[in-house]
Amino acid sequence: MSQTYLKVKIKSLSAEAQIIRKEENKAKRNFRWLKNVQGSEDDYQVTQNLYNGLRDHRLAFRPDLRASYLAYGFLRGRTYRQVENATFIGCPIWRNGAVVSFSWNLDLVEALGRASRLATKYGIEPVDPEDLKAWVLEGEAVVTPTSSNAEFAIA
């Protein structure tokens, strides 16, 4: 498949989110109006359920949209920081002044798993989740302890 299909998927998910948000706002206005005018309890409950259902639906596909963006950026050769600027990726685990392993942010690990499936589907060759982890760590600063005190500095 082509990256164009992935681009279309991203655009359709974004448009769906905008449409749902617009309908959420309508439901919220209707909800407030019914609350202020003392509408019937049934109308009030139906409107509240509609708003909650729309919001849950919009939030449910947010991880898919993030994974699509990650896969698209990876396939286009962008750095991770160009795709997601301010993201907590995890913490290094220290032993005897050296980094022995890395504790990953679980949301990011899940997004990278989905992104590898999407990149494999829409790319030319299969993409391993470990390749995406290496891609994320590529642009990160290396954290090392300073020799003067116990605080850490970014090298």
100 occurs within a structural domain: no
| Number of domains the chain contains | 1
Could you tell me the residue range of the domain that residue 33 belongs to?
Answer: 3-88+105-133
154 occurs within a structural domain: no
27 occurs within a structural domain: yes
147 occurs within a structural domain: no
pLDDT tens digits for range 54-94: 999 988 888 899 899 999 999 999 988 888 876 667 676 76
Let me know: does 111 contact 64? Beta carbons within 8 Å. no
pLDDT tens digits for range 12-53: 999 999 999 999 999 888 878 877 777 677 777 888 888 899
98 occurs within a structural domain: no
DSSP sequence for 49-93: HHHHHHHHHHHHTHHHHHHHHHHHHHHTT--HHHH-SS---EEEE
144 occurs within a structural domain: no
d(CA 21, CA 92) in angstroms, rounded, equals 38
pLDDT (average), residues 98-117? 78
13 occurs within a structural domain: yes
- Inter-CA distances, 106 with 89, 110, 149, Å: 9, 6, 31
Of the candidates 22, 29, 30, 20, the residue with the CA atom closest to the CA atom of residue 53: 20
Dihedral (Cα; 150, 94, 70, 82), 10-degree rounding = 30
- Predicted confidence band at 148 (pLDDT cuts at 50, 70, 90)? very low
96 occurs within a structural domain: no
